[in-house]
């Protein structure tokens, strides 16, 4: 079963995401908006366990989502996103190969 890395556990109902995979919360509660280095240090070790079929559940600060996406790319993994729309999660996959095709 894939892992679902949730950017921030902010008290939302993640029961639908739990059906997709094991939830791993990268941060909890209030996140330091302008401390990118601190945010990086908080999530990087958890993301080192990511594998090709795992997902990132997009939540929280845009900057934190950018940091997580950058780490996943640096690990040479596809960016598998879960985007919440109309009460359900949409799966989207971006791969490094897509860059070469542009």
Span 2-21, mean pLDDT?
A: 94
pTM check: above 0.75: yes
Residue ranges per structural domain of the chain: 3-101
Confidence of residue 100 (pLDDT cuts 50, 70, 90): low
Query: Mean pLDDT throughout 48-71?
Result: 96
> Which residues are CB-neighbours of 28 under 8 A, at least 6 positions away?
8, 9, 10
Give the length of the chain.
102
Mean pLDDT of the chain: 93
Contacts of 34 (CB under 8 A, 6+ apart): none
Q: Is the pLDDT of residue 102 over 60?
A: no
Q: Mean pLDDT, to the nearest integer, of 43-54?
A: 97
**Mean pLDDT on 48-73:** 96
Task: Over range 45-70, report the average pLDDT.
Answer: 96
**Structure-derived torsion over alpha carbons of residues 73, 79, 85, 87, reported in degrees to the nearest 10:** -110
């Amino acid at each position: 079963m894939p892992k679902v890395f949730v950017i921030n556990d902010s008290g939302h109902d993640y029961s639908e995401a739990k059906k997709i995979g094991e939830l791993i919360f990268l941060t909890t509660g209030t996140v330091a908006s302008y401390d990118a280095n601190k945010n990086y240090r908080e999530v990087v070790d958890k993301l080192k366990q990511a594998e090709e079929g795992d997902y990132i559940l997009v939540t929280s600060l845009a900057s934190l989502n950018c940091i997580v996406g950058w780490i996943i790319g640096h690990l040479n993994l596809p960016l598998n996103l879960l985007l919440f729309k109309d009460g359900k999660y949409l799966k989207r996959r971006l791969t490094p190969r897509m860059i070469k095709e542009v």
